[in-house]
Structure 1
Amino acid sequence: MAVNRAYLGRSFPAAEPYEVTRAAVRAFADAIGDPHPVYHRPEAAREAGHPDLVAPPTFAALVAGNAYWPLLEDPAFGFGTEGTVHLAQRFEYVRPIHAGDTLRAEVTPETLDTQAGRDRVVFRSLLRDARGAPVATVLTTLLAPEAASAP
């Protein structure tokens, strides 16, 4: 099944805001193996000029993924999740993400083309804080599952 081009350029807000907690920041930093104190100790983050723990830069991918994953699971979108390959990720920050932030994500399937005979999509996820101010933009490139061969 091919990706439904009617989705291109349309924006889809995430169903729920993402509450950035200290526990989530620490767990993410641990998962990527980064012991930097600003990710683990509030006093270190404050000494560095931040209001609370700072999320590692790639943390934004977690928030963006929560926004675009429902599209991947939507049969009408036609992409699927089983066998999807993550090709690239790019982050554009307005400011760092901090523990205590409430982020709302809005995802837009921006580009659709093919690579090696498979659909490739680029999602643009705009992350905003509780006041609606932009925090970051995440560009995620995914390659669709390989089409099943006809018997």
Structure 2
Amino acid sequence: MALNRAYLNRAFAAPEPFLVTRAAVRSFAAAIGDPNPLYRDPAAARAAGHPDLPAPPTFAALVAGEAYWQLLADPEFGLPPEGAVHVAQWFGFERALRAGDELTAEAVPELMDRQKGRDRVVFRTTIDDPAGARLATVRTTLIGPAPGPD
């Protein structure tokens, strides 16, 4: 199935807010192998000027995924998650995401095309606080699975 262009430039909100917890920040830092004490020790974070544990920058990918993965799970969208490849990601921040944040995310498929016989989609996902202040923007590029044999 080809990408459904009816989804292009439409906004899709994550189904619920994403609560950033200290445990999630610590687990993410451990998973990516980052030993920075800012991601584990609230006292170290406060000494560095943060009100609580800041999340590693790539943590924003988890939040963005809450919005765009609902599209990948939708068969009408046309890009099945099985066999899809994550090829690029870009992050822009107004401030660090941190423990205690309750975040909303909204994904917009802003580009859909084909490259070398495979579907490609670029999502722009905005991450905001409950008051609507923009905290981050994430751009994610995925390509669909390789076509199977005829």
Q: Please, what TM-score do these two structures have when normalized by structure 2?
A: 0.98
Q: Partners in 2 of 1:149 and 1:79 — Cα distance?
A: 18
Matching residue's letter, 1:93: F
Give the C-alpha shift of residue 42 in structure 1.
0.5
Q: Partners in 2 of 1:144 and 1:108 — Cα distance?
A: 17
Equivalent in the alignment of 1:2? 2
Give the C-alpha shift of residue 145 in structure 1.
1.4
Task: Please identify runs of 4+ aligned residues in structure 1 that moved more than 4 A.
Answer: none
Task: Report SS of the residue matched to 1:130.
Answer: coil
Task: Work out the percentage of aligned pairs sharing the same amino acid.
Answer: 63
Q: Partners in 2 of 1:140 and 1:119 — Cα distance?
A: 14
Equivalent in the alignment of 1:11? 11
Quick check: 1:34 aligned with 2:34?
A: yes
Instruction: Write the mapping of 1:2-151 to structure 2, written as runs, cut at 5 A.
Output: 2-150=2-150
Q: Partners in 1 of 2:34 and 2:125 — Cα distance?
A: 24
- Structure 1 unmatched runs, 5+: none
**Once superposed, what is the RMSD of the aligned Cα atoms?**
0.7
Give the C-alpha shift of residue 100 in structure 1.
0.2
CA displacement 1:15-53 (0-9 Å, x = unmatched): 011000000000000000001011000011111101100
- Structure 2 unmatched runs, 5+: none
Q: Please, what TM-score do these two structures have when normalized by structure 1?
A: 0.97
Task: Report SS of the residue matched to 1:66.
Answer: helix
Matching residue's letter, 2:90: R
